[in-house]
Amino acid sequence: MNALVIKNIKSLIQTEESSSSFVAGKDMSKLNTIDNAYLIVEDGLIKHFGLMSDFNEASTPNNCQTIDASGKLVLPAWCDSHTHLVYPKSRDVEYVDKIKGLSYEEIAARGGGILNSAKLMQTASEDQLFEDAMQRLNEIIKWGTGAVEIKSGYGLTLESELKMLRVIKRLKEASPLTIKSTFLGAHSIPMEYRGKQSEYVDMVINEMIPAVAKEKLADYVDVFCDVGFFTVEDTDRILEAAAKYGMTPKIHANELDYSGGIQVGVKYKALSVDHLEFTGKEEISALKNSGTMPTILPGAAFFLNMVYAPAREMMDAGLPVALASDFNPGSSPSGNMQLIMAMGSVLYRMLPEEVIHAVTKNTAYAMGVDKELGSICVGKKANILITKEIPGIEYLPYAYGENKIETTILNGVIS
């Protein structure tokens, strides 16, 4: 038996007696915590936890590894429910164009942006993509991530989309992280399809989705439903086709305008709708009681200098909010979830408790792993993190430049 005991934990954060799916509205400002606690892990799962005063040394498994967490916090590892971390190269040249004043849409319109990555993807080798992505995964583990969703979408041809998804499949096998894959063939319209966009959508529906489903390469399907990209009608067609293969949507919506993306996502029971800078009363009421997780991507809004999604209005209306990194070379070149937490506090005025829910339970739900991850709950996977000696949870979003994580434990093993 593989066992691990963590003793003298200053605060054990995000505990649950039984697993709930997500946290919404006012409840986001409350966080279950046990001060002066212990936690026992067995065979990769959380076995017990409680007050140190109830800890019984004699009942701990033989030969187990012991960690003393005096002065430190223990939390569930972050779940990052939205990334594009398989990509060929950084796009730092465009970054300079951006500084000079070109907008995201202007860069995209002249063949930059996503199409720039798609061009490089055609010739990128599967092995190189895999190695580069593994390095990024190892990096985010150090920052405390325990689960990550990864999208295709820099292929935009059948071959290259399959190549990306095969790389994600290999990552799932090779990395200790819990990984979910999303097919995003409808990420941008290739140049040769400009003016005949519906023909590209036909190809996504008739060729890509069946091929992806045949090889079982995607857990979810995504569409960039926004002005200059895919319309509500395109999205409707793609999600209907994907539903026939059992692919649940998680879509890019309302980043650049009131695109109708949120509503079409809810219509198809999307697990999440992501970005949400342009969210008003109608969008909020569509999301109420929908089961679709509103997911904000602060890194992209910060990097592109955009308006910020109305996180407070959403929570005031009783909605849950999730925060993910959007790690990608064009609009959010970082997968550091601690930085995302700081942005959640500073830019969206979310409380430390709200931010913690937003990067653990709510993102676990948004990537369909809420039954196995996202909280400290008996029977859940032991993907947990131990902080350095820090004053309390407030310090997590406060000290935005430093890595507050000392140890990340994945499947009960120190990574």
Q: Can you read off the two tokens belonging to residue 143?
A: 């920052």
The candidate with the shortest Cα–Cα distance to 150, out of 117, 177, 124, is 177
Query: By C-beta, is 44 or 228 nearer to ligand NIG?
Result: 228
The candidate with the shortest Cα–Cα distance to 372, out of 385, 387, 382, is 382
Query: By C-beta, is 84 or 267 nearer to ligand NIG?
Result: 84
Q: Position 99: which residue type?
A: I
Torsion of CA 80, 86, 87, 93, to 10 degrees: 20
Query: By C-beta, is 160 or 328 nearer to ligand NIG?
Result: 328
Hey, which residues does 317 pair with through a beta bridge?
Answer: none
**Smallest distance from ligand NIG to CB 224, Å:** 5
**Phi and psi torsions of 332, nearest 5°:** -165, 75
Near Fe ion by CB under 5 A: residue from 326, 353, 354, 370: 326
Which entry of ligand NIG, Fe ion, none binds 329, CB below 5 to 8 A by partner kind? ligand NIG
Check binding of 67 to ligand NIG (CB under 6 A): no
Q: Can you read off the two tokens belonging to residue 69?
A: 């967490």
Distance CA 367, CA 26 (A): 22
**Smallest distance from ligand NIG to CB 252, Å:** 5
Which entry of ligand NIG, Fe ion, none binds 255, CB below 5 to 8 A by partner kind? ligand NIG
**Smallest distance from Fe ion to CB 83, Å:** 8
Window 208 to 247, contacts with ligand NIG (CB under 6 A): 224
Mask of contacts with ligand NIG, 102-131, x by CB under 6 A? -----------xx--x--------------
Q: Can you read off the two tokens belonging to residue 118?
A: 């798609």
Distance CA 343, CA 105 (A): 24
Distance CA 83, CA 324 (A): 8
Near ligand NIG by CB under 6 A: residue from 231, 328, 338, 407: 328
Distance CA 348, CA 308 (A): 7
Check binding of 262 to ligand NIG (CB under 6 A): no
Size of the site for ligand NIG (CB under 6 A): 13
| DSSP letter (8 states) at residue 15 | B
The CA angle 67-73-78, to the nearest 5 degrees, is 105
- Let me know: does 175 contact 134? Beta carbons within 8 Å: yes
**Smallest distance from ligand NIG to CB 316, Å:** 26
Check binding of 183 to ligand NIG (CB under 6 A): no
Mask of contacts with ligand NIG, 352-391, x by CB under 6 A? ----------------------------------------
Check binding of 255 to Fe ion (CB under 5 A): no
Q: Which residues bind ligand NIG (CB under 6 A)?
A: 84, 113-114, 117, 224, 252, 255, 300, 326, 328-331
Positions that interact with Fe ion (CB under 5 A): 326
